[in-house]
Structure 1
Amino acid sequence: MRLDKYLKNTRIIKRRTLAKEACNGGKISINGKIAKAGTEVRTGDILTITLGNRVFKIEVLDTSEHITKNQSKEIYRNLD
């Protein structure tokens, strides 16, 4: 799944266009490498996300395409 779509599906970032801007602005890395919006996210990847002055890490647990709002918290694990 594309990184921007994953961020939207998990509801970490509310809109896909904002997720795309964050990715292309160098604010998100996958396994220590700066990632673009089209980078594929796989189960087990570690995402480092910098939003404003907050930095947090998550581990990707699932990359399902269609999820509900309740399931959105179950497809990643916060590592902070």
Structure 2
Amino acid sequence: MRVDKYLWCIRYFKTRSIATKACKEGKIRVNGDIIKPSREIYPTDKITVRKNQVNYELVVLDTPKSRLGAKLVDIYRKDVTPKETLQKLDLLKYSKDYYRKRGSGRPTKKDRRDIDDWFEEPSDKDSEE
């Protein structure tokens, strides 16, 4: 089975065209080698998928005949991604939740206080010291 089709079947990518594009961009490695989307996959191959700034590592156990339900994915692959990598993903998620994009919506109370402090005239006490 082709590597792009395999990654689509085990639900790492939503569509085959996205999986093919990832292969062409060099985000997919099989046994450490950057590969083309047409590369055949066999059991015991080790695949590294770079997705959302995280390198997922998986071992091929078998090749499915078609796209699988989410519960059946573990029959065809073994996830050997290190725990440190998954913790990095959690940190990225929390860091994105904390900050809001500049210009998106009204300023928060904290933003408003910072703006007021910025434009506030220096007091007489500050100028005498």
Deviations 1:26-47 (A, max 9, x none): 0000000001110000000000
- Contact kept, 8 Å, 2:11 with 2:67, in 1: the verdict is no
CA distance in 1 between counterparts of 2:31 and 2:68 reads 27
2:60 matched residue in structure 1 = 60
What RMSD in Å do the two structures reach over aligned CA positions?
Answer: 1.2
TM-score by length of 2: 0.59
Q: Percent identity?
A: 32
Unaligned runs of 5+ in 1: none
Unaligned runs of 5+ in 2: 82-129
| Greater RCO structure (CA 8 Å; 6+ sep) | 1
Q: Which protein is richer in helix relative to its size? A: 2
TM-score by length of 1: 0.92
3-state SS of the aligned residue for 1:59? strand
Q: Which protein is richer in strand relative to its size? A: 1
Aligned length: 80
